Structure 1
Amino acid sequence: MFRRRPDPDAEALKLARAWMARLKSGEATTDDAAAFRAWRAADPAHEAAWAETVRLWEASGAAAAAVRRRDVAPRRAISRRMVLGGGAVAASAAITGLGAVRLGLLPAPADLLADHATGTGERREITLPDGSRAALDARTALDVDMAPGRRRLTLIHGATVVDVAGGLSPALEVRAGPGVARADAGSFTIRQIPVPADDPGGMRRRVVCIAGSVSVTAGETRELLPGQAVDYDDTGCGPVVGADAALETAWRQGLMVFRDRRVDEIVFELNRYRPGRVILLDDTAAARRLSGVFHLDRTDEVVAHLERMLALPARDLPGGIVLIG
């Protein structure tokens, strides 16, 4: 006979939800992560409360997946009607409800306990145990595994530039999604790039070689030299192409530089640095290409630029959410 699992007590649930709010805020620190681990380990009731909180969060993710399966045109029409009709409260509720995970307002569970993570607008440089260095862009999560005989980083999300300490074995590898980049020395960057919702490959990753050489494997293997790049996704590697390493790493100098980039990619990058969320409602505008140079500490200028260049209205909602279209 199966025994019913006890329900988490109310106080533990309250604390678990507070932890979830803190960890998904984009402002959590490594000290927060350590305190969170200690809290979970201190009492079985805490672990049960956290499991229930994660279950509810994942249920919202399943609901968001159902939203994704709806036809694009009806979803866009509803959003426009809410905006044009002045329904800011209704639109905000829709965004913070079923659409929260779909829009990237909540992290994946693995993000919560990453070894290193940056919040919105935060950039950080870390020294790894082997002497290599990694620069983390805003809203980036990175795991580090430097066990004997292994030099491995896992980019959970975001973007990083890795300066590899040479003369060591084995090669340092960075895993991201379905692929892995390996280098014995030198420097390279790897970042996530969004793709249209109907793309079968899903989220892409781009690897750019800055110095030395880097091997990228995602099904097939590509060898990169300085100034070369490759994109990969769930369907495999693309061709090796030329790349401007200075442009790809402009964020390290406090700049957002776009050269003939899709608008949805620009919005994706903008949301790394701006509190709240910019949401593009117009699919046609998403595919347009724009160029520009902006300072990371003046992100509202990017919003104004998009509004002007796309000739689309922008609507401010509570919580720093901006709807364009």
Structure 2
Amino acid sequence: MSDDETDRERDRALIEKEAVAWFTRTGGRPTRVERRDFAAWLEMSPEHARAYEDVSALWADLDATAHSLGEDGEELAGPLRKIADYRRARRRAKASGIVAGCLAVLAVSGWLWIDSPNLLQNLGADHVTDRAERRVVALADGSTVLMDADSALETEFSDRERRIRLLRGSAFFDVNPSPVPFVVEAAGGEARVLGTEFDVTLTGGRDVTVTLARGSLEVGLEGAARQVRLSPGERVEYGRAGLGAVQAVDLEESTAWHEGRLIFDDARLADVLAQIGRYREGRIVLLGSEVGERRVSGNISLENSEAALTAMQATVGFHMTRLGRRITLIGP
């Protein structure tokens, strides 16, 4: 095989993998930015659209049997036969083999969303933390970021602006003083400072909480004139309901995650479980919204997620069912 043919095969393999990642992400609840990026990816090349159509067609064919997959390898016989049939019918053994291989992995692991729901987002991020990992990142301007578990962000620095995009999770910023503004963007809003320490938490892809520990901070929505100025020990929330009112907070409570603890008072159970989920493999799935809306208070360690879940169960009294090692169902 010539070098050109090798390069083409490598490019085709990359496109197939990107198509699988896009198919997985768009099948969930993609953000407005992700939908825009997906449309741009499709328009880049006809090969992108063809690869995505191949993935969609194969997964539609597998869908009828994929839900029955378990840990027993014999249960894979049906899907694997369908993959083989599809490969022969399409007469694209190599390209289809890549797609089929990726989708077989999805089936065996019980859908990609269990283990890598943010795969595509991670590929575009500059800094990413794994589940159960907290890490300090040194930025080019001398500032530092403490990233919570399962978080991701992008950086874009210039002579006029230091901009961070929080893609998911939580991050604590210790900003090096400079005449150049430091801006943290998340879900349609932004916090703008010159030098300070503050937390930004993105929940559910849309709702953001900004908490100030030191200095001063202005927070506003993109394209809106109204802004609020925070003082140390204050926070503001924004999201689908717009920009909220400034509230006083207990900094020890709100920044407890820096030390691997979660302190909460009259919090939604769904929010607490989401934070615990950042520190464990697999998924915590709430069965119905009623249980998730229960209000809870507590002080738990995030270093042992199983103990944290058991403590919450003892406090709240919900039912907990484990499906293998990867999925935990929480119900009333």
Q: TM-score scaled to structure 1, two decimals?
A: 0.70
Contact 1:277 1:321 in 2 (8 A): yes
- The answer to whether the 8 Å contact 1:154/1:175 transfers is yes
Match of residue 279, structure 2, among 263, 273, 276: 273
**AA of the residue aligned to 1:141:** A
1:282 aligns with 2:288: yes
Q: C-alpha distance in 2, partners of 1:260/1:110?
A: 32
- Rounded to whole Å, the distance in 2 between the matches of 1:154 and 1:64 is 21
Matched-pair contact (CA < 8 Å) for 1:178–1:234: no
Q: Which of 1 and 2 has higher RCO (CA within 8 Å, sep 6+)?
A: 1
Residue type of the partner of 1:281? L
Superposition RMSD on alpha carbons, in Å? 2.7
| Closer, same or farther: CA 129–50 of 1 in aligned 2, 3 Å | same
Identity fraction in percent: 28
Match of 1:222 among 212, 218, 228: 228
Deviation at 1:173, TM superposition (A): 0.6
Distance across 2 between alignment mates of 1:94 and 1:314: 23
Contact 1:215 1:223 in 2 (8 A): yes
Equivalent residue number for residue 164 of structure 1 = 175
2:211–2:236 contact (8 Å) kept in structure 1:
yes
Match in the other structure for 2:153: 142
Are the structure 2 counterparts of residues 105 and 310 from structure 1 closer, same or farther at C-alpha, using a change threshold of 3 Å?
farther
Which sits farther off after the overlay, 173-182 or 234-243?
Answer: 234-243
**What is the deviation of 1:95?**
9.5
What is the CA deviation profile of residues 69-121 of structure 1, one whole-angstrom value per residue up to 9, with x for unaligned ones?
A: xxxxxxxxxxxxxxxxxx9949x979934xx54x7851162322321111000
Give the equivalent residue in structure 1 for 2:136: 125
Which blocks of at least 5 consecutive residues in structure 1 are unaligned?
1-8, 13-42, 67-86, 195-201
Q: Do 1:88 and 1:317's aligned partners in 2 also have CA atoms closer than 8 Å?
A: no
Cα shift readout 1:140-188 (whole Å, capped 9, x = no counterpart): 112122222221111111110101111x122111111101111111111
Structure 1 residues 111-138: Cα deviation after superposition (integer angstroms, max 9, x where no partner): 2232111100000112211111111110
Stretches of structure 2 lacking an aligned partner (at least 5 in a row): 31-67, 72-105
Partner of 1:180: 190
2:19 maps to 1:52: no
Which residue of 2 is the match for residue 191 of structure 1? 201
Counterpart contact for 2:283–2:326, Cα < 8 Å: yes
- 1:96 corresponds to 2:60: no
**Pair 1:254-2:266 in alignment:** no
Partner of 1:40: none
Give the Å deviation of 1:283: 1.7
Could you tell me which amino acid in structure 1 is paired with residue 318 of structure 2? L
1:209 matched to 2:220? The reply is no
Aligned counterparts of 1:65 and 1:149: Cα–Cα separation in 2? 34
Contact 1:307 1:324 in 2 (8 A): no
User: Residues 61 and 186 of structure 1: is their aligned pair in 2 closer, same or farther, counting only changes over 3 Å?
Assistant: closer
Structure 1 pair 107–305 and aligned structure 2 pair: CA distance change class (3 A): same
TM-score by length of 2: 0.69
Q: In the alignment, residue 272 of structure 2 is paired with which amino acid?
A: I
Larger radius of gyration: 2
